[in-house]
Amino acid sequence: MVDMKEPMESHIYAPLLRASVSQWRQQGKKGVWIKLPIQLANLVEPTVKEGFRYHHAESDYLMLVHWIPDSPDALPANASHIVGIGAFVMNNKREVLLVKEKHGYFEGKDVWKFPTGVVNQGEDICTAAVREVKEETGIDTEFMEILAFRQTHKQFLGKSDLFFVCMLRPLSFDITKQDSEIKAAQWIPIDEYVNQTYNREHKSFEYIARICSTKSQGSYGGFSAVRPSSGKQNYLYFNGQDFKP
């Protein structure tokens, strides 16, 4: 793993890289990772000319990799999935918190849907669900359970998508919608949400609506989040069988 930090002219860098790859080959090294910060973008071309390929990029760096041996490349691929959440929030009147979006896929479709969003790097699914509801509707919530999840492929940027349907308990009720993204936000009776034409015409949405409706009647158990004392990750246990971790 080479983490480049100091500025360097490409005519100096190229022969140094070439000599390093030769030395790594003699040492039996296999995979080489070079991290180039954005301020060293001048070194991308000479790195590629030495046999490196793009692996992934973030806002402030590009990662390039090279498999040295004459054998199949065994370097792990870039992250394959994007993780998203949909938030099922219901008050004691059996009304569900729903939104209509201004932009994106649902623009102009007149569909009431759950608040949704993408989980940030290093963010728990539970935290992301609470955050998205707050951002889109101004409603404070508490995470309760994951009710369902689905996997789809060839979505945004060709990635696969994992989408988690989360049940949250409302802690406030007065809506303040996010004007930049949300056209409308409202508490709507759950039966009205479930019976939307769009849900009936799209099986995955109908399936999720049926799960949430069943949960609202107390006939369904999901996954609750338990943080073990030995680590910082959230582990999700199925609680429908009264499992006590």
6, 50, 135, 192: the active-site residue = 135
DSSP 38: G
- The Cα 102–Cα 106 span in angstroms is 8
CB 68 within 8 A of CB 29: yes
Residue 197 structure tokens: 């034409």
Counted residue by residue, the chain has a size of 245
> Does 135 qualify as catalytic in the annotation?
yes
Local structure of residue 241 (DSSP, 8 states): T
From CA 152, how far away is CA 56, in angstroms rounded? 21
CB 95 within 8 A of CB 187: yes
What is d(CA 49, CA 168) in angstroms, rounded to the nearest whole number?
A: 52
Q: Encoding tokens for residue 165?
A: 């349907």
Catalytic residues: 135
